[in-house]
Structure 1
């Protein structure tokens, strides 16, 4: 199963240089990196990233993250993927641009 991480392009560029992504400020505060499934990503984009330009969406194979990835209840009781540890840049399969739609919501992969 593929999972997705929405983040500013500048944060991804820093992660590429470092070879790993240690999470955004909210990830570090919560103690894990927040991900979404393809079905969850549009609502995540709407709630947390509306109006933010120059975002990317990282696409990762969940199974590649091993035991550090846990599925935990969040919004509405849905299980969301949370990574307890850094994300290696080499685990990212694709990087998608996330342009804003007419309502200012980043467009996520389908």
Structure 2
């Protein structure tokens, strides 16, 4: 399973497309999703975490360094093409904690 952070207002959708100027849709895994969440979405309370089944993508999935790359840092799953809604197998609320930081939702941590 890979994870994609999405604004609640932008879901549901037929497909998730790469951001303008990007070649891929940014995703994470359960162990790294807090990194982009805290760096890019600090203070946001309107987020969802979409669980995506890579076997249902129908497009290339590549594990690559983050952007910007961190020497020796984690790699992230990048989906090269749109993610079809049928690949999304679960949707979770993704609010920050009381300290404003994001953590993997408990429902996903127990898997």
Please report the TM-score for the alignment, with normalisation by the length of structure 1: 0.81
How far 1:6 moved relative to its partner? 0.7
Counterpart among 35, 50, 53 of residue 58 in structure 1: 50
State the partner residue of 1:83.
79
State the partner residue of 1:22.
17
Moved more, 98-107 or 3-12: 98-107
How far 1:108 moved relative to its partner? 2.9
How far 1:66 moved relative to its partner? 4.8
Name the one with the larger helix percent.
Answer: 1
* Unaligned 5+ runs, structure 1: none
How far 1:3 moved relative to its partner? 0.7
Please report the TM-score for the alignment, with normalisation by the length of structure 2: 0.80
Q: Deviations over 1:59-109 (max 9, x none)?
A: 012233255111112242422100111110011000000122112233433
